[in-house]
Amino acid sequence: MKKTTSIWKAILIILVFLTSCSSENDNTQLSIEKLLTQKESWTFDHYEHIKIVEGGNSNFTKENIENQINSTIFGQILTFIENGEGINGYTFVPDKGIESWKWKAIDNSTIEVNFFNPEKNVIYENVNVNNDKLIYEFQNEIDIDGVIGIIYGKYIYK
């Protein structure tokens, strides 16, 4: 009987220990809205080219495309506000101005942004955000030396 009681006590102690220990996996996962808004602003870090959707008669290279995008939006800052508004501006190029927009999460990996000038809705896909990095994929038009192409890639902000 004493042996059985000791076993039950040991099991009880182990259960108490296991249920009282916390783990990172136990944390409730934050919504995309919360992750986007908990950081004051996101600064553009770099672009990673994935594919050329339409290249026309171009000789676009991955390096050309990445250099063009990286130099065009260098210093861009995005701010997501909890009320669904957003602002972007530039740290190193103040004459580029500030643009306001509305945003909403469609799901935990897609954001819709409504730009006011001109009036258009844009969908950002494969959004991945954590405490220190925002990544999204986007298809857009690019002009390299007068040749227009459509590209798809990852935009990384920190």
With a cut of 60, say whether residue 97 has pLDDT above it.
yes
With a cut of 60, say whether residue 16 has pLDDT above it.
no
Specify the DSSP class assigned to residue 29. Answer: P
pLDDT band for position 133 (cuts 50, 70, 90): very high
Stretch 68-87: mean pLDDT: 94
With a cut of 80, say whether residue 151 has pLDDT above it.
yes
Q: What is the mean pLDDT of the chain?
A: 82
With a cut of 90, say whether residue 98 has pLDDT above it.
no
Q: What domains are there in the chain, each with its CATH number?
A: 30-157 (2.40.128.540)
pTM: 0.76
pLDDT at 37: 96
Specify the DSSP class assigned to residue 56. Answer: T
Nearest of 141, 147, 140 to residue 125 by alpha carbon: 140
Q: Which two tokens stand for residue 75?
A: 């210093």
Collapsed DSSP state (helix, strand, coil) of residue 98: coil
